[in-house]
A and B are shown apart, each in its own frame.
Chain A
């Protein structure tokens, strides 16, 4: 119960921070911009020639400008909550919270709240976008963002390459929600990893932009020599991606690895503090 209180308290503190507010607003503005651009691009088109509402999203692999989302993803993942541990130390909040709830509960609450806040930042803007797209765009739109018809024979060849392609065939909206949630989980795991690194007492916040970015870079470039799957992360964090050879096992392994490393680094520092 006290751990839940710790999570609640630390989450509410994080929501009030500028890091969360700015990154949430940036992603929300980006998502809205994509919808507006596609509404303008499809002006005057026949409804059947239009893109399916669920496929017009800032997180869809083939929409214009998704490049921005992919490039800034590792940095955006750190912004909402990645600095929270350093901020707590700088403002002496950590001393107060540790005294109030105990050191272990503080750290457990910290990791869970960091994960939750980052997850919310990376999912809610796109969930809201889906809701708005369903209202704005006609359901008769059958095209994918690639220009192909979403359920044509040609696209089906490629849709088999989506992660969770069966879900795509059964219900495109559930596919959208679960795929976006998976991206949120990956971002959350990256934030947990960053907080784990920051518990080593990194002095300058700017350096915290590096660990998750380097992890992704190394994972892409080392894994391709070990596994036969496609390892480029951009194709995993975006949805409706049609590149062949992606592996859910690889993606989940990265998520688990990030989480475990974040927890281990934090545990090492709890023990280090106890022995001091």
Chain B
């Protein structure tokens, strides 16, 4: 009887943790959008009422024709619905593959706009750019 009770206690703990983890998984998330290739791209947030962070991923970043890493400059601006600039960051980096950036911004809402401006004249700017908008 003691063993059964001990096993039941372990199962209860696993069940409680399981329920919390499943709830946490469903209440947190990322909303992914693929941005088109271009010098300036912008994205208007949809779906979720508010977001806490922005993560973006640039892939297929190619080296220049000379084979050297390309120094790229990229500007990320986030505007809210009344077009007020909320955040602006410049990235200057020697990159040759995938690049992630994180930004924790409270109270981003549906309708707010994120704008990415690619500077420089390299035609091999990211072929695909994914943006993940997260909430937790």
Contacts and interface: CB of A to CB of B under 8 A. Distances in A.
Nearest to B91: A154
Interface stretch (B33-41, B78-86, B94-102, B122-130): B94-102
Nearest to B107: A228
A213 B60 CA distance: 40
Nearest to A157: B89
Contacts of B52: 230
A225 to B, nearest CB: 11
Contact of B102 (A158, A207, A209, A213): A158
Contact of A210 (B5, B13, B93): B13
B20 interface: yes
A19 B132 CA distance: 41
A148 B16 contact: no
A243 B53 contact: yes
A117 to B, nearest CB: 23
B32 interface: no
B94 A149 contact: yes
A69 B20 CA distance: 18
A206 B15 CA distance: 12
A102 interface: no
Interface in A148-187: 148-149, 152-154, 157-158, 161
A147 interface: yes
Contacts of A149: 93-94
Interface residues of A, number: 28
A185 to B, nearest CB: 24
Contact residues on B (Cβ < 8 Å of other chain), bracket = 20 to 34
Given A157-B89, A206-B10, A217-B24, A244 B94 contact: no
A206 B106 contact: no
B92 interface: yes
A244 B12 contact: no
Contacts of B104: 161, 230, 243-245
Contacts of B13: 206-207, 209-210
Interface of B: 5-6, 9-10, 12-13, 16-17, 20, 24, 52-53, 89, 91-94, 97-100, 102-106, 136
B6 to A, nearest CB: 6
Interface in A193-225: 203-207, 209-210, 213-214, 217, 224
A243 B136 CA distance: 13
Nearest to A244: B104
A228 B34 CA distance: 30
A259 to B, nearest CB: 24
Contacts of B99: 147
A141 to B, nearest CB: 15
A152 B24 CA distance: 35
Contacts of A206: 6, 9-10, 12-13
Given A152-B93, A153-B92, 12 more contacts: A147-B98, A147-B99, A147-B100, A149-B94, A206-B6, A209-B13, A210-B13, A210-B17, A213-B17, A217-B20, A230-B52, A243-B102
A154 B93 contact: yes
